[in-house]
Each structure stands twice: as C-alpha cells, then as structure tokens.
C-alpha cells in the first residue's frame, strides 16, 4: 500500500487516529516567532496546521498528495488547496515562481524520495521554513522485532538536506503513546498514517503481535527551523 492510499483510506476517521500529528502541528504554529501573511504548507492533511492559525493572512496555499484529505481541508477566498505529490516535477513547477513569507510542513516531508531537491526549490520561494518530520526511529521496537527497515528518512538525512541550503536549528523530540490493550495499539499503527508504504507479511505480523510487550508506541520527530540562507 502506498503512503498516499494509506492516508486516503482512513481519511474520514483520520482525526481520531492522529493524536501525535495534532500535537506537533499545534507545536509548530506555537513556536512561530512572527505571524506570516503569505504561507505555503506541504502535507496539509485535513487542516490540522491551518486550524491553529489565529491571525489575518493574505494567502495560504495548502498541498497534499491525497485528494480525500484536500477535500476535508478548510477553504476560503484566500485559501487555495491543491492535490500534488511534493516529489513530482508537476508540484515543483507549480510553486517555482511563487514567493512566500514562510513554508510550513508538519509530519509530511519524511516521506520524500528526494528531500534535498524539494528544499532547493523552496529556498527560491521563501527565506524561512518551519517543519516537523517523523524520523526513522519512530516505531523502533517494531523494526527490531520484525527485522525491517523504516521507510521514513533518518535524522542524518533530514539534517543534511536542509543544511545544504539553510542554516538551521534542529530539535529532536520523542513521544510515547500508551494504549489500554494490544488491539487498540495495533489499530492505531494501521490507521494513523505513520506506518509507511510497507505492510508486514502475515508471519511478521503474527510474530509482532506475540512479541511486542510494550503498552506504548514510540515516535521520534525532528523540529526544523531555518535561520538564514547559505
């Protein structure tokens, strides 16, 4: 299952299964030092970042790869919502002549196949990026038990991509989300949109269910604030 389909399949119930995403989206906006007027958001989902913007804006362009999510995002005369995979040339061409006060992204860019390429284009349309990405240490114990590699970018790759074009401040935060029982825990993995493109085989799934002894899931995120262009 592709990342796009994973988000789309559970779009209508997504808001009840994205607790961590909601927490970091709120933190992303809370940490802003200014109140930008012209904003580009990558991976807008159903609007979990946008709903925390409580000041007047001139223009907001929201991008997501899932049409189902775009359909749920708030819209108005100065809010433009478009369905694009941000790894595609189509998307890069869409924004290459734009100018923004800031680019925001919450729990989305970790899926990029070429993050460095995206950041390069973004450096031409804005002087400031504030983003938060899950890292490959998310669900780390699951990876150990099933001997699988995370499909999410690792901390080093994320830092390297941003640091090619900006001087940045980075902060790593880990979260543990507790569950009352194993069924709820595994349902969350399936429906949260963080489990990635790879689905485990029946054998690995059975092994994981048997051997996963924690009552919580592990999440690691990296907050990125650009300070200046290089």
Sheet containing 59-64, strands listed edge to edge, beginning at the edge strand earlier in sequence: 79-83, 59-64, 38-42, 102-106, 129-134, 216-229, 166-178
DSSP of 16-44: GS-HHHHHHHHHHHHT-SS--SEEEEES-
Given pLDDT bands bounded at 50, 70 and 90, which one contains residue 2? Answer: very low
**What is the DSSP code (8-state) at residue 48?**
T
Q: Please tell me the pTM assigned to this model.
A: 0.90
Given pLDDT bands bounded at 50, 70 and 90, which one contains residue 5? Answer: very low
The mean per-residue pLDDT over the stretch 200-224 comes to: 90
The mean per-residue pLDDT over the stretch 84-112 comes to: 95
Name the percent of the chain lying above pLDDT 90: 73
- Looking at residue 1, what is its pLDDT? 34
Q: What fold does the segment set 3-136+149-175+220-229 form as a domain?
A: Rossmann fold (3.40.50)
CA atoms of 74 and 156, how far apart (whole Å): 34
Pairing status of strand 216-229 against strand 129-134: antiparallel
- Looking at residue 59, what is its pLDDT? 98
Give the tens place of pLDDT for each residue, 80-89: 999 999 999 9
Give the tens place of pLDDT for each residue, 21-76: 899 999 999 999 999 999 999 999 999 999 999 999 999 999 999 999 999 999 99
Domain ranges of the chain: 3-136+149-175+220-229
| Contact present, 30 and 132 (Cβ < 8 Å) | no
Q: Report whether pLDDT(192) > 80.
A: no
Give the tens place of pLDDT for each residue, 126-140: 999 999 999 999 999
């Amino acid at each position: 299952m592709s990342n796009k389909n994973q988000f789309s399949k559970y779009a209508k119930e997504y808001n009840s299964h994205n607790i961590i995403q909601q927490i970091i989206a709120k933190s992303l906006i809370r940490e802003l030092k200014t109140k930008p007027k012209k904003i580009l958001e990558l991976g807008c989902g159903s609007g979990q970042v946008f709903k925390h913007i409580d000041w007047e804006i001139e223009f907001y362009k929201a991008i997501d790869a899932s049409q189902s999510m775009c359909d749920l995002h708030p819209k108005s005369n100065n809010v433009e919502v478009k369905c694009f995979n941000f790894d595609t040339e189509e998307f890069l061409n869409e924004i290459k002549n734009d100018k923004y006060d800031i680019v925001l992204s919450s729990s989305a860019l970790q899926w990029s196949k070429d993050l460095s390429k995206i950041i390069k284009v973004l450096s031409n349309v804005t002087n400031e990026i504030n983003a938060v990405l899950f890292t490959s240490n998310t669900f780390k114990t699951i990876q150990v038990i099933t001997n699988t590699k995370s499909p999410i970018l690792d901390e080093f790759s994320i830092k390297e991509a941003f640091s090619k074009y900006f001087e940045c401040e980075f902060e790593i935060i880990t979260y543990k989300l507790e569950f009352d029982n194993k069924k709820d825990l595994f349902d969350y993995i399936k429906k949260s949109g963080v489990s990635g493109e790879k689905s485990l085989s029946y054998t690995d799934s059975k092994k994981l269910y048997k051997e996963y002894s924690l009552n919580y899931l592990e999440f690691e995120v990296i907050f990125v604030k650009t300070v200046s262009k290089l």
